[in-house]
Amino acid sequence: KDVDIWINFEDEALIDEYICVIAKVDDEGGNINHMISQNLRHKYVWSTPFLMRVEENFRPYMHIMEHDFKKGPLKIRMKYNAVYLVEIYKKDKINKRRSTT
């Protein structure tokens, strides 16, 4: 069953627009066992370089978005049996990073 979570700031001074990066690892994205079936994975001895190549090319699902916390908390629908990483960046920090190149 999916679960909704909300992320917000307690400190009023922090409530602003941010860039949000959401990475999800589940049975569809970022999971090497999804690419190689369990019976084959345990039946054969796979070389480490091969497994590393597979893992490098099969990344987690990534979603990058803007969110204005002045309009409300960030809502994320979390899938059962998945791992989520949420990073929140101030927009001015992202712009400074871009302008230095």
Q: What is the pLDDT of residues 54-74, one digit of tens each?
A: 777 667 788 899 999 999 999
pLDDT at 94 over 70: no
The amino acid at residue 49 is P
Q: What is the pLDDT of residues 1-14, one digit of tens each?
A: 899 999 999 999 99
Alpha carbon distance 95, 56 (integer Å): 28
Residue 9, φ and ψ in degrees, nearest 5: -110, 135
The structure's pTM equals 0.64
Alpha carbon distance 17, 9 (integer Å): 12
pLDDT at 92 over 60: yes
- Compute CA distances 94 → 11, 21, 97, whole Å: 21, 12, 5
pLDDT at 27 over 80: no
- For the chain, list the domains and their CATH numbers: 3-99 (2.60.40.1500)
